[in-house]
Amino acid sequence: MIPLRTTSLISLVSAILLAGCGDGPAGTGGPPPPTASIDVGNIFFQSVRNESTDPAIDTVATGGTVTWTWVEAGTHTVRFGDAGFPESPTFVDGGSVFSMPFPVAGTYTYDCGVHGTVMTGTVVVK
């Protein structure tokens, strides 16, 4: 059994951490931003906003756009598990870019068509 003092401390720390996890920029708790950027590198997807990696996790407003930028040379694609979403072209060169709008609220998962679940991400659209 965990002592009450330890449980209270865990609850307090959790509340403090969650307070900074809003949907808006820099954890402001405001509306989600209209865009998000993901870096694509040597077997990773990384959120530019919050640096989450494999899975890269970003939130955008309904109708927002997410842009993936190849920051290193390497063969990768962006492939969605959701029917109806196109897979990106296969890019090899650093500096390549793929953007996609998200017109409907929901949670969308993706991976690399070349590396599968080693490279993953999630886009939350609110």
Alpha carbons 78 and 37: distance in angstroms, whole number:
13
pTM of the model: 0.76
- For domain 34-125, the CATH class is mainly beta
Whether a cis peptide bond, with omega within 30° of 0, leads into 55 is yes
Alpha carbons 89 and 30: distance in angstroms, whole number:
34
Provide mean pLDDT across the span 30-34.
Answer: 94
Q: Where are the domains of the chain?
A: 34-125
Alpha carbons 93 and 53: distance in angstroms, whole number:
20
Check: CB of residue 18 under 8 Å from CB of residue 29: no
Tens-digit pLDDT profile for residues 42-54: 999 999 999 999 9
What's the pLDDT at 20?
Answer: 33
Q: Which contacts qualify for 81-88: CB closer than 8 Å, 24 or more apart?
A: 81/109, 81/110, 81/111, 82/108, 82/109, 87/113, 88/113
| Residue 67: closest CA among 98, 41, 90, 89 | 98
Tens-digit pLDDT profile for residues 84-108: 788 999 999 899 999 999 999 999 9
